[in-house]
Amino acid sequence: MSAEAADPAAVPRRRSRPRIDLRRLGRVALLGPVPRDRLSDAIGHVADAHRAHHPDADLTILHRAYVLAESSHRGQMRKSGEPYITHPLAVTLILAELGAETTTLTASLLHDTVEDTEVTLDQVREQFGEEVCYLVDGVTKLEKVDYGAAAEPETFRKMLVATGNDVRVMSIKLADRLHNMRTLTVMRPEKQARIAKVTRDVLIPLAERLGVQALKTELEDLVFAILNPEEYEDTRALIAAVTDESDPLAPIADCVRATLREAGISAEVLIRPRHFVSVHRVRRKRGELRPTDFGRLLVLVGEDADCYAVLGELHTCFTPVISEFKDFIAAPKFNLYQSLHTAVVGPEGAVAEVLIRTHRMHKVAEAGVVALGNPYAPDLTAAQQAEPSDERADPTRPGWLSRLLDWQESATDPDTFWTTLRADLAQDREITVFGTDGRTLGLPAGASCVDAAYAQHGERAHTCIGARVNGRLATLSTVLSDGDTVQLLLAQDTASGPSPEWLDHARTPAARIAITGWLSAHPDAPGPESEGPAEPAADGPQPTAPARTRSGGRAANVVVDGPESPTRLAGCCTPVPPDEVVGIVVRGGAVTVHRQECPAVARMREIGRPPVAARWREEEDGGRDTAACRVTLVAESFGRPRLLADLTEAIATADAAIVSATVEPPSEQRVRHTYTLQLPDAAGLPALMRAMRDVAGVYDVSRAQHPAATG
């Protein structure tokens, strides 16, 4: 089935076998009440389509599945009035034309039997085996999901869970939705619109992610017709107006064929009509459509090297439009898509877009993961078979789906899941980065070191303090590029956690959900920034109230003048005994204790908001409390190899734990390190600072004085 044909009948036929017009056969299968012997013709069409891709396929299991499906659905009718068996037949025909293997087609024929008939999963397992049972069960779970608008967040979480680790479940669901969309006109207009919106928002992006362009493009056209009827009619009229005219791409295609023939390159050159939505997008992009904008040239060759040979000939013999060139062979898309894209100026100045790919690439471009066959077939490598597991390791599953399945378990809030799912599906490009051990990580374009940390280490990434990118120290906010080598640096203090700023740099759902979860579970953990002050407390004398603040899980005691309220040490200046301190009343009535010289205190005085008095609480023996504390230090140094390692070793030797750290990019060979550290005793701070100053290359260590908001 063509991924781009506005009219499938207009697509040139492949020489290797006659093309099957899915829509025509869909109509054959949907001819209303007919004798039972006519229905067997439909399974014959399925068998023909299947054999075209798999000549040696055993069709016995398909015939047995059809017999069970037909007998179990006998007497059931669709809302359109056709016998119900026409639906699983049409769904199976769609998948057969895409090249799905026998197991998938068998499950497709049976995909509604367990839900809508007396057939049980045990019967399916007994008659057709564990694989078919697994797929039928997965699709059945999807069918039980309520697609109501209010249920959407939980709906699609269940979809991913039901899909499990087998993309064939989702392939059957997409084919099922395509056939339902083809016959949606029997529904009320409001229900048509609701189903179309769900299809547009999630199912079409999922089809794109799975690389099943043949399903995705027809779904787009059907949704377009329902949700944008006027624009659809305008586009249909434009396409109809050029259908009766001579195709302006034909002479360019002839020139390309001649050029490649003279160069000795064996290639098939086809004209690919654009589908409705594609024409609509080009029209919106360019305003005025060129005569050649209604299609593209497709050049199919045998080997990868031939693709570049074709490209060289085209760019040599025609004038190329350089801005249109894209190489998706060297850098495949996230959905397995590979092709060379270019545009050339043909005779009389006509511009033609050209797609260049191998026959294998074309099959994957059309059918995506469906074209990759059964990943659980008995011919798996011995190593794979030797490692049985409850998890189904699918070698065809794209990395994005693995990540979705992982982070959906952590997104306990349905609204968070829904928002994150749609944001993740909106990503249209992936990058690959490498660990120092050679391990690869697939990340969305724009991902940072924060994303890489959570992708590689999971919740251990909470303790990440920095990274090396291509051998150089980098901040966690550094945006990664395709091919970068990343080494994540983790602190030994497993109790430390991320700061709220990490959310500004996190692009992946896994990172954002993990960071948000940690911050929610540790609301009192001091961060690197202070909070803006609130309105001053009510006038009049207030009693002095000792308040016990928490710092890194251990207590430090201060006394503030005011009503008893939550009190904590400021993250901007991280005061420790014996610092002179004052309190600032912040939003919600809490008190944040700052060092006297903190810039936040000065700003409070400037705007007429006097701070409240605060002091360290004296112990009964007369000594000042020197319990565990958290402090932020800034180390200024000259850049040199192993500097970070030597600094962290000095910190560890002083019995301090690193909570978080940032390393700014070098400037004139100078490097600025900022560490938030956990000390077992505030009295050890001077010795710690001396030890850090003694590290070769470090010329200054000072207490941090971060700016604080004044709110």
Catalytically annotated residue among 21, 48, 116, 304: 116
- Residue 485: CB atoms within 10 A of its CB come to 14
User: Nearest-CA neighbor of 476 among 462, 464, 463, 459?
Assistant: 464
What is the rounded CA–CA span in Å between residue 473 and residue 469?
6
Q: Which amino acid is at 220?
A: E
User: Nearest-CA neighbor of 225 among 181, 282, 285, 287?
Assistant: 181
**Residues 278, 282, 288, 289: what is their CA dihedral angle, to the nearest 10 degrees?**
-50
The DSSP element (H or E) to which 467 belongs, if any, is strand 464-469
C-alpha distances (whole Å) from 1 to each of 12, 170, 243, 528, 693 are 11, 18, 20, 56, 69
Structure token pair of residue 459: 């919740």
Who's near 573: CB < 8 A, 6+ residues apart? 530, 594, 595, 597, 598, 600, 632, 703, 704, 705, 706
Measure CA 526 to chain center: 31
Catalytically annotated residue among 7, 48, 115, 268: 115
Structure token pair of residue 434: 């490498």
What is the rounded CA–CA span in Å between residue 324 and residue 314?
13
The DSSP element (H or E) to which 569 belongs, if any, is strand 567-569
Per the CB < 8 A criterion, the answer to whether 532 and 558 are in contact is: no
Confirm whether 115 is a catalytic residue: yes
What is the rounded CA–CA span in Å between residue 158 and residue 163?
8
Confirm whether 116 is a catalytic residue: yes
Outline where 31-166 has alpha helix (H): 36-53, 60-73, 86-98, 102-109, 113-116, 121-128, 130-143, 152-163
User: Nearest-CA neighbor of 638 among 597, 668, 676, 598?
Assistant: 668
What is the rounded CA–CA span in Å between residue 462 and residue 456?
12
User: Nearest-CA neighbor of 367 among 327, 400, 336?
Assistant: 336
Q: CB pairs under 8 A, 24+ apart, for 277-283?
A: 277/217, 277/220, 277/221, 277/224, 278/4, 278/217, 279/6, 279/235, 279/238, 279/239, 280/224, 280/231, 280/232, 280/235, 283/235, 283/238
Q: Exposure string (b/e) for 6-37, b if CB count within 10 Å is 16 or more?
A: bebeebbeeeeeebbbbeebbebbbeeeeeee
User: Nearest-CA neighbor of 547 among 535, 536, 538, 556?
Assistant: 556
**DSSP character string of 420-464:** HHHHHHT---EEEEEETTS-EEEEETT-BHHHHHHHHHGGGGGGE
**Which residues are annotated as catalytic?**
115-116
